[in-house]
Amino acid sequence: MPIHDKKLKDLELKANEIRQDIIAMLLEAGSGHSAGPLGMADIFTALYFHILKHNPKKPLWDERDRLVLSNGHICPVRYATLAHAGYFPRKELKTLRKLGSRLQGHPERLALPALETSNGPLGQGLAQAVGMALAARMDGKKHHIYCIMSDGEQEEGAIWEAAMMAGKQKLHNLTGIIDRNNIQIDGHTEDVMPLEPLADKYRAFGWHVLEVNGHNIAQFIAACEEAQSIFEKPTVIIAHTIPGKGVDFMENKYEWHGVPPNKEQAREALHQLRTLEGKITSEHE
């Protein structure tokens, strides 16, 4: 079902607010990842404010959809989205990476009830999601499992073992989401370890493959809806995103993979993102 324009505008504005919180969090922390979290704000907004079955008042609700974040280093976007969704106060975002904080530099499952897994080493999340999908099917549960992955971690062999298992088991209750931003910590993916043809590789492993513009929220929602209608195989959505989205001096720069902004850079980034608010509103008038 097509998303109506007012809801789409609200989601785009929410994603912009989340990007601003990411900048503020990273500035306060003095460490952390900028490019990936900014690039995934639209997708996380779509998930938590339109797609997922979840309940902030009952984070361990048994019928909730599960979201596994395999590339745990982009957790600032998940934390910011969770705060906006009502899981904890937004003021807590300023505790990112501080000693004793619930918001560690990589997600810790026992710290927040809204987190399904702890994630640090890349390449492990898809196997965890496959296990959850198998367990849900065995238990006759109807919830859906989503697994967000980076493109860089597609270089990990464990990803393909899990992909092969998901294809064999025809896990239609599993949707993978790949952040195809073409960068990793020390360069562009196609220079470090070429991934293409990525879509064909997943098809060969028995997956239904969709490719979308990761900043087109309506397109991403439509892809998730299509995934729900596929009953004979798992689905992977390859979401093409711009790392550092919304901040011109960060966009498409792999150097911003694991670097936070300083005060001057954060001031300029927030100015650019606040300017975008008016543009988003005018585009929907």
Q: Kindly state the tokens that stand for 210.
A: 């969709």
Q: Looking at residue 113, what is its pLDDT? A: 87
Average pLDDT in the chain:
96
* Model confidence pLDDT, tens digit, residues 105-132: 999 999 998 999 998 889 999 999 999 9
CA-based nearest residue to 283, from 3, 68, 9, 1: 9
Nearest by Cα to 79 from 55, 120, 125, 48 = 48
Nearest to 223 by CA among 168, 190, 175, 256: 175
What's the whole-model pTM score? Answer: 0.97
Please, what are the domains in the chain? 5-283 (3.40.50.970)
- Report the Cα 25 to chain-centroid distance in Å: 17
The Cα 17–Cα 24 span in angstroms is: 11
Q: What is the pLDDT of residues 241-275, one digit of tens each?
A: 999 999 999 999 999 999 999 999 999 999 999 99
CB of 83 closer than 8 Å to CB of 45: no
Closest residue by Cα to residue 43 from 113, 147, 139? 147
pLDDT-derived band at 9, boundaries 50, 70, 90: very high
Residue 69, beta-bridge partner list? 148
